[in-house]
Amino acid sequence: MQEYEEMLQQKMAARHSPGVHERMKRSIVGIAGLGGLGSNIAAMLARMGVGHLVLADFDVVEPGNLNRQNYFVSQLGKYKTEATAEQLLQINPFITVEFHTVRVDEQNAASLFGGCDVVCEAFDNPESKAMLVSTLLGECAGVKLVCGSGMAGIGSSNEILTRRRMSRLYVCGDGLSEAATGIMAPRVIICAGHQANMAVRLLMGVEEA
C-alpha cells in the first residue's frame, strides 16, 4: 500500500510544473464559502497541489446546487465542507484539508483565515463579501484576498476579468451581473478559474492582476 502511494505521488508530481509545485506544496490557501465559486476553486487548488487548504461553509448540499457546484447526487444533504473535503482527497491525497462548518462572520474570520497566504472569497451574498474584505484586510496583515463579484447570466466570457483593487485585494468577475439573473455553471466556473489562477500567481510572488 505504501509503495503504491509513493508511486502515485511520484507519477502525479511528474506532471506538475517544475518550480511551481514546490511552492504550492508549502502554501496555505483559505476558501470562504463552498458554493459555485468555492467548490470549484477548491478542486483546482487541490489539483495544483496546494499543500494545505482551509475551507469554511455552514450549508448542506441541495439539489439546486448541482447546476453549478462541484457536488454529486450521492452527496445531497451532506455539509459542503465534508463533501468538498471528501472529493479533494480523491483528487489529491497528498494535501491536507482543514474544514470549519460555521458561518463566517466578523468575529471568527480572522481566526479562521489569519494563517493563510491567500484567501479566496466565494460567498453568495454581497454583504458577506464586503464583511470578509474589511475584516481580513483590516485584521490580518499578511493575508491577500481574491474575491468574486459578478458572474451570473450568460453574458460574454470575455467580460470576466481579474482586477487589483487594493494593495492586497483582487476582484474577479464582470462587476455587474448579480445573482438575480440566474447563476450558471460556465460563467461561475470561469470566475472560479480567475480566482484560482490569481491565488496561484500570488503564491508564486506575482502581484500583477
Question: Does 129 engage in binding with another protein (CB under 8 A)?
Answer: yes
Question: Does 36 engage in binding with another protein (CB under 8 A)?
Answer: yes
Closest distance to another protein from the beta carbon of 207 (Å) = 14
Closest distance to another protein from the beta carbon of 41 (Å) = 10
Question: Does 67 engage in binding with another protein (CB under 8 A)?
Answer: no
Question: Does 179 engage in binding with another protein (CB under 8 A)?
Answer: yes
Question: Does 130 engage in binding with another protein (CB under 8 A)?
Answer: yes
Furthest-apart CA pair in the chain: how many Å?
51
Question: Does 183 engage in binding with another protein (CB under 8 A)?
Answer: yes
Q: Report residue 66 as a C-alpha cell.
A: 448541482
Question: Does 209 engage in binding with another protein (CB under 8 A)?
Answer: no
- The answer to whether the beta carbons of residues 135 and 109 sit under 8 Å apart is yes
Q: Which amino acid is at 91?
A: I
Closest distance to another protein from the beta carbon of 98 (Å) = 21
Question: What residues numbered 103-122 form the site for another protein, per CB under 8 A?
Answer: 122
**Is the four-CA dihedral 101, 105, 110, 116 of positive or negative sign?**
positive
Number of chain positions touching another protein (CB under 8 A): 38
Question: Does 134 engage in binding with another protein (CB under 8 A)?
Answer: yes
Question: Does 147 engage in binding with another protein (CB under 8 A)?
Answer: yes
Report the distance separating Cα 208 and Cα 5, nearest Å.
Answer: 37
The helix-helix angle for 80-91 and 36-48 (nearest 10°) equals: 30
Question: Does 141 engage in binding with another protein (CB under 8 A)?
Answer: no
The residues binding another protein (CB under 8 A) are: 33, 35-38, 122-127, 129-131, 133-134, 137-138, 147-152, 165-167, 169, 171, 173, 175-180, 183, 188
